[in-house]
Amino acid sequence: MPKVDDYVIWKHNGLVHQGWVYFIDDLYITIETGIKPKPNCEYTKNERHKYIHTLLLCFPNQWKDLEYVHTRKNKYGKDIDDMNTYNRFSDS
């Protein structure tokens, strides 16, 4: 079972999707496949959310098709090194 902040690959209907597990519920998992900066809004003084997230829904009957790659310790890292990735199934 994937966990939040796991990086997964999902082969589905002849397509390959990959990204970070963003949210988990009993009904679905969301996989973050991309982010981009949110444009400034003239009506909002203090914008809490800085990015637009592209999320893909994966339902329980499809979870068996998810391939675990690695997990990140720091989701705010700018690159893969800053994220401090590791394999949570590894003994070391």
Question: What pLDDT was estimated at residue 32?
Answer: 95
Domain ranges of the chain: 6-71
Alpha-carbon span 25 to 5, nearest angstrom: 14
pTM, full prediction: 0.83
Rg (CA), the chain: 15
Asked whether the beta carbons of 24 and 2 are under 8 A apart, the reply is yes
pLDDT number for residue 41: 74
Q: What's the pLDDT at 38?
A: 82
Q: Which of 47, 45, 49 lies closest to 35, judged by CA?
A: 49
pLDDT recorded at residue 91: 64
**Residue 9, pLDDT score:** 97
**What does the pLDDT look like over 6-59, one tens digit per residue?**
999 999 889 999 999 999 999 999 999 998 888 877 776 677 777 889 999 999
